[in-house]
A and B are shown apart, each in its own frame.
Chain A
């Protein structure tokens, strides 16, 4: 069974600094999708970034980038120039390949605090 592990329950970063959140996963598939979702105090889940496993190039979205290491099954999120609004729970998620009903398997989350 596929699993997603986030080993950092809580992280803290100073405003304007850079922070990296870790995520590892386990799968026997060769093609799949990986995501980082953000859940602020409002509890609205927001898609931060998405990576397709067959793409070697790491995904980037403005201040957010990933370090995707397929062989190591690692998918870390780097947040540059951290802002107060980045404070939230961050979930790493895996989605297997296949048809329309692809599930999302979530990690346990990392609570990120941003210090002014």
Chain B
């Protein structure tokens, strides 16, 4: 149980294009999902908290117009990297909390490697 699917696992795009990453909770409902960014050999940095049916909460320093988050249902959140540039190349990971489940446990997707040429 508590499986989070993230798609795509790897995407290569040209500079200036937009890329959408999907995060789905497969066997549970998630009122809250989280988006992280991880640079090579570094820790996970929280980018934003995605709340179903409302606007996402962004961490300080994260551009909300650059990283668009939509959480339209209890099982799906999307992260769109708009007008991607090489500096946006990174590993993006989503996680989800089980609605009404054990407090504070987050289940993670397998991540998306974004390479911007």
Contact = CB atoms under 8 A, between A and B. Distances in A.
Interface residues of B, number: 24
A91 B42 CA distance: 10
A42 B42 contact: no
Contacts, number: 55
A35 B107 CA distance: 12
Task: Specify the main secondary structure of chain B where it touches its partner.
Answer: strand
Interface string A44-71: 1111001000000000000000000000
A35 B44 CA distance: 14
**Interface size class, chain A:** 20 to 34
Q: Interface centre among A45, A103, A105, A109, by most B CB within 10 Å?
A: A45
Contact of A107 (B43, B91, B95, B102): B43
A15 B34 CA distance: 35
Contact of A106 (B44, B91, B103, B111): B44
A91 B36 CA distance: 14
Given A91-B44, A102-B104, A45 B49 contact: no
A16 interface: no
Q: Which 7 A-B pairs have the closest CB atoms?
A: A45-B108, A95-B104, A33-B104, A106-B43, A102-B104, A44-B110, A101-B49
